[in-house]
Amino acid sequence: MTPRKVVILGGGVGGVASAKMISEEARKHSVNLEVTLVTKERRHYMPPLFFDVAMGEASPEETYAPIENLSRYFGVNVLVDPVNYIDAANHTVVTGSGRKIEYDYLVVALGTTYEWGKYPGLAKAGYHNYDLEGAIKLRDALRRFKGGKVVIFIPETPYRCGIYPYEAATVLAVSFRNAGIKAEVTVLTPDPKPVTPLGKDIHKMWFDAFEELGVEYVVHKGTQEIDGTRRIVRTTNVEEKYDLLIKVPPPGLPDPLKKSEGFTWKQDERFAPAKPPTFRHPEYDNVYMVGEHSMVPAGISLAGVFVHNASLVASNNLLADIIGFYPRYTIPTATCAGYVKDKGFMGHCEIRYNPETGKYEWADRCYVGPISSLARLFKVGFYKSWLDSLR
């Protein structure tokens, strides 16, 4: 019997999690599937570890594993060839090299792009750790930094990894204090409260940390420009001078989705459509959308924990399409680990699918778990053990 073909686009967390689950479950249930993952990178990166690189607590080599080991350990066909566009009407993916790949089921996990050119001056000014090259440059800038004002700038919401700027602010403030470096840390953001959907407990944790460390929290009402020559961030209502600028990228829709018919969300062209609770494409039942590009349309945030959960839900439902009687899950909860000051914390959110709104809901159902050095170790250990499965 000819195997049914499952094609997965993207070699990040969503793509790898989907590939692992679908391949392993198909083998367990004796389902004849051919699973192919298409990616532009030979490495599978773990982006949360980029901040550890910037802080000098991890080497660049610790942040990635060979993507081709998906074939060796999980029986997944890996094709390193960038996606060009999706022809969903004809169940075909076209790659950068011109190859046409037919599929019976498609999982799209292409992440998000970084629109550094969206605001004047943003591309050239400052530093970031949203890719490995950026993390190394930020590490070197921090090593040269002798004191002054650090501005962590969020141009717009939503953005990738909602807790990151607040992690960075508190970790840096503690690190400067311990090193005897006189520095002011400011978070410049359009969000009236840190990571608004996460509820009052997590708001309080951040604001308590900011008060203790003297971190200034400034709310702006729209980005105008970044003057790298004079080292000023200008917004509609405030101007902030800086000695060191750390910036967060505005999100954008990946080019392959822009080129593909039906893959731009009409309500907000920065994102791609998805239909909760299963993350199916609204028009194509055999296409599942699990990248950060589709989290906002589903009612949740641009974060790895949600992409991971979405990929498992979508993979579960895809398998049920093929197997027949097989559990069909929705996202029930999300638990993450993060940094606060010189410790770590565990955050837990209850998530519910609301059939009346057609979206997942999670605001004000998030709680702070342990705040300790052990939670910090758990975060690093989880990410490194994830990568170890491909080494």
Q: What is the rounded distance in angstroms from the CA atom of residue 233 to the CA atom of residue 244?
A: 11
Same fold across 4-112+253-327 and 116-247: yes
* pLDDT at 195 (0 to 100): 75
Please, what sign has the CA dihedral across residues 212, 167, 343, 131?
negative
Maximum C-alpha span of the chain: 69
The predicted structure's pLDDT at residue 118 = 98
Q: What is the pLDDT of residue 358?
A: 93
Phi and psi angles of residue 81, each rounded to the nearest 5 degrees, phi first: -165, 120
Give yes or no for residue 40 having a pLDDT over 90: yes
| H or E stretch at 315 | helix 304-323
Q: Are 110 and 251 in contact (CB under 8 A)?
A: no
How does the average pLDDT of the chain come out, rounded? 95
Distance of CA 231 to the CA centre of its chain: 28
Domain segments of the chain as ranges: 4-112+253-327, 116-247
Report, as an integer, the average pLDDT of 67-95.
97
Angstrom distances, CA of residue 190 to CA of 65, 148, 159, 223, 298:
35, 23, 11, 9, 22
Average pLDDT of the residues in 170-199: 91
Task: Identify the residue with better confidence: 361 or 318.
Answer: 318
Confidence class of residue 363 from pLDDT cuts 50, 70 and 90?
low
Rg (CA), the chain: 21
* More confident position, 53 or 332: 53
Q: What is the pTM of this model?
A: 0.96
Instruction: Categorize the per-residue pLDDT at 369 as very low, low, confident or very high, splitting at 50, 70 and 90.
Output: confident
CA angle 278, 295, 87 (to 5 degrees): 70
Q: What phi and psi, each to the nearest 5 degrees, are found at residue 384?
A: -70, -35
Q: What is the mean pLDDT of residues 77-86?
A: 98
Tens digits of residue pLDDT in 118-129 = 999 999 999 999
CA dist 229 → 36, 181, 242 (Å): 48, 24, 11
Mean pLDDT of 216-242: 97
Architecture of the domain spanning 116-247 = 3-Layer(bba) Sandwich (3.50)
Residue range 18-32, pLDDT digits in tens: 999 999 999 999 999
Which distant-in-sequence residues (6+ apart) come within 8 Å of 72 by Cβ? Answer: none
CA–CA separation, 244 and 129 (whole Å): 14
* Percentage of the chain lying above the pLDDT 90 cut: 88
CA distances from 269 to 81, 174, 264, 297 (A): 25, 39, 6, 11
Question: Among the ranges 196-200, 253-257, 370-374, which has the highest mean pLDDT value?
Answer: 253-257
Residue 222 scores a pLDDT above 90: yes
For the record, the structure tokens of 119 come out as: 């605001």
Average pLDDT over residues 104-133: 98
Pairing of strands 343-350, 366-372: antiparallel
Which residues are CB-contacts of 223 (< 8 A; sequence separation ≥ 6)?
Answer: 119, 122, 155, 156, 233, 235
Q: What is d(CA 282, CA 144) in angstroms, rounded to the nearest whole number?
A: 50
Say what the pLDDT of residue 334 is. 87
- The whole-angstrom separation of Cα 366 and Cα 386 is 25
Res 264 pLDDT > 90:
yes
d(CA 333, CA 133): 33
Q: Which strand (E) or helix (H) includes residue 185? A: strand 183-189
Give me the sign of the Cα torsion angle 197, 201, 204, 208.
Answer: negative
Q: State the amino acid at position 79 in one-letter form.
A: L
Q: According to the model, what pLDDT value does residue 333 have? A: 87
Residue 18, SS3 per DSSP: helix
Q: Residue 158 pLDDT more than 80?
A: yes
Domain at 4-112+253-327: CATH code: 3.50.50.60
